Chain A
Amino acid sequence: QTVVTQEPSFSVSPGGTVTLTCALTSGSVSTTYFPTWYQQTPGQPPRTLIHSTNTRPSGVPDRFSGSILGNKAALTITGAQADDESDYYCVLFMGSGIWVFGGGTKLTVL
């Protein structure tokens, strides 16, 4: 069974840059998986930050960007702010009507 993996936790300094990744236990992530990134704070629903690898919905600041880095999907936050401290989830479309979420990354800004 394919599992989607993310770093369990990450820390970034205010104003710094951090890259979170989303990988497959078997194989490489590509654009055909439509990698999508969500931000979630406690008690709130997920908020879409990036979809289809690198597309930002309207209203999402351009300091959030998505890409493919090597064999993983990546979310880069440039100029981290205190309110970026959240949980970040990726999801991949595996085909055949199946989607798999990563386990999430808890980002600390300090």
Chain B
Amino acid sequence: EVQLLESGGGLVQPGGSLRLSCAASGFTFHNYGMAWVRQAPGTGLQWVSFISATGGSTYYADSVKGRFTISRDSSKNTVYLQMNSLRAEDTAVYYCTRGPRVGSWGTFDIWGQGTMVTVSS
């Protein structure tokens, strides 16, 4: 069964840091790009970041550029999101999602259950 399992969410103070993890199983991890998408309470989905299948290319939404870093470890079938300088507006459920296959572009098909990040003093 194809599965994504996020972890690492929690309560953090403004200006603090948090690292999210997403463990993938049931598919050939190194063949797919991976992304993080977030959803603030009561609002819609927002793309946050993407990493290519090889890890050689990374992309960020303007709202997180310079503060968040996406990475992946193919030996652990895991993708990470390091979040620094967190702000109240980063409060959201963060979803890990599978992106397009290596060598192609597209969107997202498999989603994890999400992990909640709350930035508050």
Place the interface of chain A in its size category. Answer: 20 to 34
* Residues of B close to A89: CB separation below 8 A: 44-45
Bound CA span A103–B46, Å: 9
* Residues of B close to A51: CB separation below 8 A: 106-107, 109
Interface status of B59 (Cβ within 8 A of chain A): yes
Q: Which of B15-23, B71-79, B83-91, B110-118 contacts A (4 or more CB under 8 A)?
A: B110-118
Closest to B6 in A: A45
* A36-72 contact mask (Cβ, 8 Å, vs B): 1 or 0: 1010100001111001100001000000000000000
Closest to B50 in A: A97
Among the listed B58, B105, B113, which residue makes an inter-chain contact with A34, where contact means beta carbons less than 8 Å apart? B105
* B31-48 contact mask (Cβ, 8 Å, vs A): 1 or 0: 000010100000011110
* Residues of A close to B47: CB separation below 8 A: 91, 98-101
Bound CA span A45–B5, Å: 12
Does B44 lie within 8 Å of A101, measured CB to CB?
Answer: yes
* Residues of A close to B57: CB separation below 8 A: 97
Interface on B for A, CB 8 Å cutoff? 35, 37, 44-47, 50, 57-59, 61, 95, 105-114
